[in-house]
Amino acid sequence: MEFRHLGRSGLKVSEISYGNWITHGSQVEEDAARECVQAALDEGITTFDTADVYAGTKAEEVLGRALKGVRRESLEIFTKVYWPTGSGPNDRGLSRKHIFESIHGSLRRLQTDYVDLYQAHRFDYETPLTETLKTFDDLVRQGKVLYVGVSEWTADQIAQALKIADDMGFDRLVSNQPQYSMLWRVIESEVVPLCEKEGLGQVVFSPIAQGVLTGKYLPGQPPPADSRATDPSGSGFISRYLDNEDLLTRVQNLKPIADDLGLSMAQLAVAWVLQNPNVSSAIVGATRPAQVRDNVKASGVKLDAEVMSKIDDVIGAAVQRDPSLTVSPQPRP
């Protein structure tokens, strides 16, 4: 496993991190989740990403139990706040009230005194940005959070936050967590240039496009019974790919490229995102330990310009680049 700095911060993270968005507390039983976490640790992964909303807070609980007994200083634990974790009017968003209550719930479920990175899971149009950033800064000063970041924010939103932090003397954002893959490149035109300039690193999710880039979803055929496409918490997210037979055909045409490099399709996909120097870490998930062991082999893989060009030629028009597709929910009526 190789390591990279999280943006321009001093924190080093494993360039492949383990995430439990759909799997823990939802798609797999806890014993299987524990085995996947152990496989990640065995393979040198030190960075673990979760969120309070995953599996209705159960994912944090499962991860906390799976990591119990591991030397805390050897881990980087990331979590997030924004989405509803209850039914009350203040059980969502980035208000001071919700952030304070959410971090305490996350720390309890994760069985830790602090998280290494606390991320705003979306931009909150209903809360003043200064309120959110001041609350994050307070958590840093209290030692409950070491670094702060965001997830799926636009370049303009990140720039606003950075200006406020600089003007007010708050801790600066060090990272953004966007969706990013061969197929989904919406951050490249605006978010990445800003983050390179301002010192934020990308911690990218879905580098394998929810499993599509493994090649297991075949054009004209139903998805495998045990795949993420059949899980209620992930099927809507993946439908944009499964409904596009041309895209699925193009993905199948990546296999000769992977074969020539001695890589699996998943390894090629993860290695591809790691070629972007602004990417600090690529998050992978798994339902079986073997998937973890396969994915980590992408660490340290270098793809030359010719390979990158071949990939572009194969994917072609299937690539989504529109930066306006990075969106957060608008204010509630």
DSSP state of 229: G
- DSSP string of 141-176, one letter each residue: HHTSEEEEEEES--HHHHHHHHHHHHHHTPPPEEEE
Residue 323: alpha-carbon gap to chain centroid: 18
Whole-angstrom CA distances from 273 to 86, 87, 147, 168 are 35, 37, 23, 34
CA angle 163, 127, 93 (to 5 degrees): 115
Q: Dihedral through CA 157, CA 159, CA 161, CA 163, nearest 10?
A: -150
List the catalytic residue out of 18, 54, 217, 241.
54
Q: Which residues of 237-250 are buried (b: 16+ CB within 10 A; e: fewer)?
A: bbeebbebeebbeb
Length of the chain: 333
* 8 Å CB contact between 300 and 272: no
Q: Is 54 a catalytic residue?
A: yes
* 8 Å CB contact between 218 and 177: no
Residue 236 in tokens:
């809507």
β-pair partners for 195:
none
CB contact set of 279 (below 8 Å; sequence gap of 6+): 4, 15, 180, 201, 202, 203, 204, 273
* 8 Å CB contact between 163 and 250: no
* 8 Å CB contact between 48 and 40: yes
Cite the active site residues. 54
